Copies of this chain bind each other. A is one copy, B any other.
Amino acid sequence: MLSEFDLIKQYFTRPKRRDASGRTVLGVGDDCALLAPTPGLQLAVSSDMLVEGRHFLAGADPYALGHKSLAVNLSDLAAMGAAPLGFTLALALPAADAAWLDGFSRGLFALADAHGCELVGGDTTKGPLNICITIFGELAPGTALRRDAAQPGDDIWISGTLGDARLALAACLNECALDPDDAALAAPRLHAPAPRVALGRLLAAGRLAHAALDISDGLVGDLGHILAASKVGAVLDVDALPAGPALARQSLELRRRFTAAGGDDYELCFTASAANREAILAAGEQSGTAVTRVGRIEAELGLRLVDATGAALALHLQGWDHFA
């Protein structure tokens, strides 16, 4: 049986990286980690807690889970436009299962390394499976993409595609049948989302966008947070929403529902002046991320859904509420 200290040593303590930037002064193993923030930059901080049966199904593949646990946090940094710095991991485990820990830690570190984001500390305890990551990033003062910064007249943009994660979940839950090719296309969107860190950093550093957030609970609900915080309204062209490749082959009704209110997309929704359209397309190109214009911010409060012809669309949609 692995002890708590063996477990941390074996799976979560790594040799100092050769390319270490030197920003982590002291990592895993003391009462606190010590970081040296870059002078003059602000620190962006976010915590996400993932619970078995809520955020992932019991028996989920540990490698994918390690990836996703960090991905949802990196997505929060992306939504502010911050550069990843490091993270802490607190983990409650029913048992010290070596195979699970091996897969989880490999999935976690593969994504962490891809983003130069170092594990600096954390906690390990016994309990119902629960994964809590707190992530730190940096950005220049005044450049953060906040929810309260949307302005009437702004375009509304979406990165990547929407709805394939929800479609994969629907297939898992036997809500719909998918042919094997579509299932294979959609599954990675649910299990291994790609946080849009590079795009977010370009939008913030170039001051190209006003407001932004990452879409985790469904676009309509999440866009509502921007509208409420910015005290504005919007028109959203539901048929302009970029559907994932598997969802694109489904019925119009399912495409509308899962792009507008699917959940687990981890794409960016951002608003920007029409004057920046060319620059935003260039930022999408540079970061290898598709960007699509899907609507407009207006002074009139409320969210108005329209179809491809501009006619009002009555969709019964709801964002995700953990206590609903």
Write the residues of chain A forming the contact surface with B, with a CB cutoff of 8 angstroms.
Answer: 1-5, 7, 25-26, 29-37, 39-40, 42-49, 51-55, 76-77, 79-80, 82, 86, 88-93, 95-96, 120-128, 130, 132, 134, 136-137, 141, 144, 146-148, 212-214, 229, 321-324
11 interchain pairs, CB-CB under 8 A: A4-B324, A7-B323, A30-B80, A31-B212, A32-B144, A36-B42, A45-B136, A49-B123, A49-B125, A52-B127, A127-B128
Q: Which residues of B contact A127 (CB under 8 A)?
A: 49, 51-54, 128, 130
On whether the beta carbons of B45 and A120 are closer than 8 Å, the reply is yes
* Cβ–Cβ contact A123 & B42, under 8 A: no
Q: List chain B residues, Cβ under 8 A from A92.
A: 49, 51, 130
Q: A26-B146, A323-B4 are in contact. Are A34 and B44 (CB under 8 A)?
A: yes
Contact of A37 among B43, B122, B146 (CB under 8 A): B43
Complex CA distance for A321 and B8, rounded to whole angstroms: 12
B5 touches A47 (CB 8 A): no
A229 and B120 CA atoms in complex are apart in Å by 17
For the complex with contacts A34-B43, A54-B127, 11 further pairs of A-B residues with Cβ separation under 8 Å are: A29-B229, A31-B46, A31-B79, A32-B76, A32-B77, A33-B46, A35-B45, A49-B130, A51-B92, A123-B132, A127-B130
Min distance, Cβ A137 to any Cβ of chain B, angstroms: 7
